[in-house]
Amino acid sequence: MTEKKFELHPMAYYQSILRRTLPREIFRRQPHRIVWLFVHVFVILASVIAILFLQTPMWLKLILAVLIGNSLGTLGFLGHEILHGSVVKGRRWMLLFGGICLLHWGLPPQVWINWHNRTHHHHTNQWFQDPDCFGPIHLYKKSRWVRFMEKLTPGSGTKRSYLFLFYWFTLHTAYNIFKHPKAFHKQRNRKYGRAYFIGVHLLWLLASIFLSNSFYDPLFLFVIPILISNFIMMSYVATNHFISPTSQSVSDPLVTTLTVRSPKMIEYFHLYNNYHVEHHLFPELNPSQARLIAKELRTRWPERYQEMSHVQAIKKVYQTPRLYEDEHTLKNPRTGEKAETLLSHYFNL
């Protein structure tokens, strides 16, 4: 399907076309996916036991710490699909299992639903509305926070920006819990969210200290798992929308979103979280079914469906600024460097 004019379409436009050919069964819940929760809890507990109670050499403790971090990050993906309703039925079960998956970030599942499901999905990459979008460049002069934050982001050219992927999800979670006005339906509940966030991290830190047999064990039980879990999550979050156009009118999921590809084994063990265009088209669809959507998108809209290798996408994130000069141009406010977003050539026609 080739378009004479590059127009933006809402999610419903694509859904109405795709639902005519997609089999209905792919939209069913996938309750078997809950098995991944027990798999990763087992990996985490087994690794913790090996670090604390076995004569484990330092190099193996490091590997186990990375495994813990990977499992925590992957549980974030599982919590994401659970809280979209594609795994278990019933709000209580969703909040229970989703809350367990997000526990290590001190992130209440209700906050995630408000932040991600209700705000990010409805206003993807729209300035001032999407909590995951860094916004327009004119904010740099007006906001002290934006001036501080910009130097931390990939593409800013600063040395500190190379640490971004290892901590940003935790920092962004803290910001949403402590400051974002739409994180809580009732503002009086914010104090409980703050206590939850602080309490989880404090208990985790204290447990890793008091249960440790050596001075270095808290590194393997607390510090490294947090860094790796952030990296796993942010390596996808940063590529989902950071290098895509923004749209202040129609939020077109094929324009504002990118799918990334990795070796099949990585995609499998990361629960197919890489299919992000497909997820924004059908948030209620379990990611395990997203490959069928991708096949249709490549056939019907090859000129606008965006996918690239995960490694290439991360490189591009670090090669481009984070603030928007216009809807398809990114600009560094300190150096003046500019870069075009994906699909920018269509906007210039």
| Mean pLDDT (whole number) for 229-245 | 97
What mean pLDDT comes out for the span 256-269?
Answer: 97
Mean pLDDT value across residues 214-230: 97
Average pLDDT, the chain: 94
pLDDT at position 214 over 80? yes
Q: Which tokens hold the place of 191?
A: 């104090």
- Mean pLDDT over 192-208 rounds to 96
**pLDDT tens for each residue of 129-174:** 899 999 999 999 999 989 999 999 999 999 999 999 999 999 999 9
pLDDT at residue 310 tops 90 = yes
The whole-number pLDDT of residue 1 equals 45
- The rounded distance, in Å, linking the Cα atoms of 86 and 117 is 13
User: Cα separation of 96 and 21, whole Å?
Assistant: 35
Question: Cβ of 189: how many Cβ atoms within 10 Å?
Answer: 14
Measured torsion, CA atoms of residues 320, 333, 123, 160, in degrees rounded to the nearest 10: 60
Q: What's the whole-model pTM score?
A: 0.94
At residue 105, what is the residue type?
Answer: W
Q: Is the pLDDT of residue 5 over 90?
A: no
Mean pLDDT of 267-282: 98
Q: What residue type is 334 in one-letter code?
A: R
b vs e for 131-149, b when ≥16 Cβ sit within 10 Å of the residue's Cβ? bbbbbbbebbeeeeebeeb
- Average pLDDT value for residue range 251-255: 94
**247 with 220: CB under 8 angstroms?**
no
Using alpha carbons, list the distances in angstroms from residue 333 to 134, 162, 185.
Answer: 13, 19, 35
Q: CA triplet 338, 343, 349: central angle to 5 degrees?
A: 90
Q: Which residue has the higher pLDDT, 347 or 278?
A: 278
Which residue is it, tokens 């603030």?
323
Instruction: Give the pLDDT mean for 208-224.
Output: 95
Lowest mean pLDDT among 63-67, 221-225, 326-330: 326-330
Confidence class for position 2, pLDDT limits 50, 70, 90: very low
Residues 79-94 have pLDDT tens digits of 999 999 999 999 999 9
Task: Inform me whether the pLDDT recorded for 108 exceeds 80.
Answer: yes
- Which phi and psi angles does 62 have, rounded to 5°? -65, -45
The answer to whether residue 271 scores a pLDDT higher than 80 is yes
Q: How far is CA 232 from CA 5, 307, 316, 318, in A?
A: 38, 19, 17, 16
338-340 and 329-331 strand pairing: antiparallel
